[in-house]
């Protein structure tokens, strides 16, 4: 191993061990996420299986996209094959139309990464079954 590679690997390992890695999605602020989620409440319910303009979000983590009974999804959403987790929800919240082209969600997306992280933290708590 070359010296430069060894030094780089050592520095990277040291940074990881003291917590300088990329921010974790799990580190979001639930209360701040609930405030940001107010933009979503007209279309989505988090605490009961009630569809509105959008499907309910109860039990969303681990659920396949387009799978809520009684909600009429776009063909694009139903055929996406996506399973909702922190990564997929985060990408979708940032750019719904770009992430799943042809879906019908009218929301333009959350532009601040902090808002996305916080909404995910809120959803993890509010939608757990």
Residue 13 domain-assigned (yes or no): no
Q: What range defines the domain where residue 39 resides?
A: 24-126
pLDDT tens-place string over residues 20-35: 333 444 589 999 999 9
Residue with the two structure tokens 């279309």: 43
pLDDT tens-place string over residues 75-90: 999 999 999 999 999 9
Residue 76 domain-assigned (yes or no): yes
For residue 34, the domain's CATH number is: 1.10.760.10
Residue 102 domain-assigned (yes or no): yes
Q: Are 62 and 84 in contact (CB under 8 A)?
A: yes
Residue 103 domain-assigned (yes or no): yes
């Amino acid at each position: 191993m070359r010296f430069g590679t060894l030094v780089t690997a050592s520095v990277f390992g040291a940074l990881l061990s003291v917590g300088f890695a990329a921010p974790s999605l799990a580190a979001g602020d639930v209360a701040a996420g609930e405030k940001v989620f107010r933009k979503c409440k007209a279309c989505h319910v988090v605490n009961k299986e009630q569809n509105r303009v959008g499907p309910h979000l109860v039990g969303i983590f681990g659920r396949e996209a387009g799978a809520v009974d009684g909600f009429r999804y776009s063909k694009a959403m139903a055929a996406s094959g996506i399973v909702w987790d922190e990564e997929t929800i985060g990408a979708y919240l940032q750019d719904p139309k770009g992430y799943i082209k042809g879906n019908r969600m009218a929301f333009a997306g959350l532009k601040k990464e902090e808002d996305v992280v916080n909404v995910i933290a809120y959803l993890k708590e509010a939608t757990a079954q």
